[in-house]
Chains A and B, each alone.
Chain A
Amino acid sequence: MYIDHHPILENHGNDQISFFYDGTPLKARQGQTIAAALMMNNIRKFGISRKLRQSRGLFCANGRCCSCFVTVNGLEHVLSCTTLIEEGMEIKPNTGDPDVRGGIHEN
């Protein structure tokens, strides 16, 4: 849920952007990280751990714990807590080990 009226800080601008999570169109605020954009839409489970197949989501929010990986525009294992959301981004949950990167990264 978005905090419209913060107890201390001034309100941010209302600039909304659109992105996709697993194909579903969602809204976020300009300047938010991917993790925050997902949590604002009540998505807290971002993926599944590779070995124990347990749910994972935001933990440290500082790019250190690697619990919040998602796939961004086809690139796997992106830290959602330190990457800003952008207009039209296609986010997918992190469901396992990556395929060898294709496309421009081939060879």
Chain B
Amino acid sequence: MKTDVLIIGGGPAGLNAAIETASRGIKTIIIEESYALGGQLKQQTQFFNNLPKQFDRQRGIHLMRTLIDRLSPLPVTCLLKHKMIGVYKDGRIGIANDTETFPIDAKKVIVTTGAAEETDLFPGWTLPGVMTVGAAQILINRERVLPGKNALIVGLNSFSAEVTKQLKACGINILGVIDKNVSVNDKKLVDGLEDKKIRVMVNTVIERATGAGEVEKVTINNDGKKEDLDIDLICIGKGLSPILEPLEILDCEFGFQAKLGGLVPKYYSTLGTSNPSVYVAGNAAGITCLGGILVTAEIAALNALKALGVLNDNEAKISSSFLWDELRSMESEESIETFIARVAHIKEFHEECELPLPASFHAILEGC
């Protein structure tokens, strides 16, 4: 199989990148390990306001529909239930499903693998009934199954707070949301939960979870004061980290950026990595908001198109500077620290490679 662009991962970033490349008539293949496109949008019932200008305010699941509808008339092949499993010596990408393995010869690869949820470690964390907040959200919104009746939520952040409210709206009794530290920035989240009569406990950790075959009880420790709760569900919301395996297999170099979620691939202002045929976008390029996921996908696709000779320098320059402004605005709305870390990450890699940053990028640097 041959293609101009191969996209690894059919979530919001992969879909939006494919829309950009395929709408220019460029042959594009998306491989997606799940049985359906959409990634984590499949179960996001909350509204997203802070999106690129071509998208109205809408629920995540509707945005997934919007993206798939825009993609469907375009020359894109979507290989569902296919995984990238390696790289052949000649550079072709090894793809497998349940029955066969085959190579794809791609001129450019855009890695949009997204992110995985972090866990929290305490005795009993592997018991059935202990799961990530993302898993609980999948169960209620995608599978329509209640994961439990009485829940404790560990970790306070905007995602865990949102899912907590969704679980409560489905009738689950929330015994509390606990976290070790809560910063001043989280005040709004705490107020939002308390408005819904959900108890928030700071300086609180799980001492242990117990149960016969599945979780039945949890002991929490609030500043030395211990309390036992009868629960059948513990949801862990400890944030996200980028999914990097395909980038490792593709010999990309990595750097550490705490504000981008830890280890992230090094990349230029083009979102091209140290492997000249590989670009990265979405949460795989650093944990960001949905708007940031969509815009980085456009930036990576644009630069892949430029490298393929589809766009001329001037076209690429104008679009690129527009997109970077949009990215700054999206990420500033949620957390300016993400944008600052991203720009620092890019600057470091350009310096390491002694490659000057494009003139248009200097204004961005000054803005940080």
Say which one of A16-24, A61-69, A95-103 lies at the interface with B.
Answer: A61-69
Q: Which residues of A contact B61 (CB under 8 A)?
A: 9
Partner of B213, one of A55, A67, A83: A55
Q: Chain A: which residue is nearest B127 at the CB level?
A: A55
Q: Does chain B have a CB within 8 A of A50?
A: no
Task: Please report the C-alpha to C-alpha distance between residue A64 and residue B243 in the assembled complex, in whole angstroms.
Answer: 10
Interface centre among A54, A60, A62 (most CB of B within 10 A): A62
State the Cβ distance, A30 to closest chain B Cβ, in Å. Answer: 11
Q: Is the CB of B214 within 8 A of A29?
A: no
State the Cβ distance, A40 to closest chain B Cβ, in Å. Answer: 5
Q: Chain B: which residue is nearest A79 at the CB level?
A: B33
Partner of A82, one of B33, B127, B134, B141: B33
Q: Which residues of B contact A2 (CB under 8 A)?
A: 144-146
Q: Which residues of B contact A40 (CB under 8 A)?
A: 143, 145
Partner of A44, one of B33, B116, B129: B129
Q: Which residues of A contact B166 (CB under 8 A)?
A: 7
Q: Which residues of A contact B138 (CB under 8 A)?
A: 61-62
Known: A1-B145, A32-B145, A39-B145. A9 touches B126 (CB 8 A): no
Determine chain A's interface SS by DSSP, over half rule: loop
The count of chain A contact residues (Cβ–Cβ below 8 Å) is 34
State the Cβ distance, B211 to closest chain A Cβ, in Å. Answer: 8
Q: Does chain B have a CB within 8 A of A77?
A: no
Partner of A3, one of B126, B170, B213: B170
Q: Is the CB of B128 within 8 A of A63?
A: no
Q: Is the CB of B139 within 8 A of A59?
A: no
Task: Please report the C-alpha to C-alpha distance between residue A83 and residue B36 in the assembled complex, in whole angstroms.
Answer: 11
Q: Is the CB of B34 within 8 A of A59?
A: no
Q: Does chain A have a CB within 8 A of B131?
A: yes
State the Cβ distance, A85 to closest chain B Cβ, in Å. Answer: 10
Q: Does chain B have a CB within 8 A of A56?
A: yes
Task: Please report the C-alpha to C-alpha distance between residue A35 and residue B144 in the assembled complex, in whole angstroms.
Answer: 12
Q: Does chain A have a CB within 8 A of B147?
A: yes
Q: Which residues of B contact A36 (CB under 8 A)?
A: 139, 142-145
Q: Which residues of A contact B33 (CB under 8 A)?
A: 63, 82
Interface string of B99-137 (1 = CB under 8 A from A): 000000000000000001100000000111111101100
Interface string of B30-46 (1 = CB under 8 A from A): 00011100000000010
Q: Is the CB of A61 within 8 A of B144?
A: no
Q: Is the CB of A56 within 8 A of B34?
A: no
Q: Is the CB of A59 within 8 A of B145?
A: no
Q: Is the CB of A7 within 8 A of B214?
A: no
Q: Does chain A have a CB within 8 A of B140?
A: yes
Q: Is the CB of B135 within 8 A of A60?
A: yes
Q: Does chain A have a CB within 8 A of B169?
A: yes
Task: Please report the C-alpha to C-alpha distance between residue A2 and residue B144 in the assembled complex, in whole angstroms.
Answer: 6
Q: Which residues of A contact B214 (CB under 8 A)?
A: 44-45, 55, 57
State the Cβ distance, B137 to closest chain A Cβ, in Å. Answer: 9
Q: Which residues of B contact A39 (CB under 8 A)?
A: 139, 143, 145, 147
Q: Is the CB of B132 within 8 A of A29?
A: no
Q: Is the CB of B128 within 8 A of A57?
A: yes
Task: Please report the C-alpha to C-alpha distance between residue A40 and residue B148 in the assembled complex, in whole angstroms.
Answer: 10
Residues of B within 8 A of A (CB): 33-35, 45, 59, 61, 116-117, 126-132, 134-135, 138-147, 166, 169-170, 213-214, 243
Q: Which 10 A-B pairs have the closest CB atoms?
A: A57-B128, A36-B143, A61-B135, A7-B169, A44-B128, A3-B144, A61-B138, A1-B146, A45-B128, A40-B145
**Would you list 27 pairs from A and B whose C-beta atoms are within 8 A, ordered by A residue?**
A3-B144, A3-B170, A6-B170, A8-B141, A8-B169, A9-B141, A36-B142, A36-B145, A39-B147, A40-B145, A44-B128, A45-B128, A49-B126, A55-B214, A57-B131, A58-B128, A59-B132, A59-B135, A60-B116, A60-B117, A61-B134, A61-B135, A62-B116, A62-B117, A63-B34, A83-B35, A84-B35
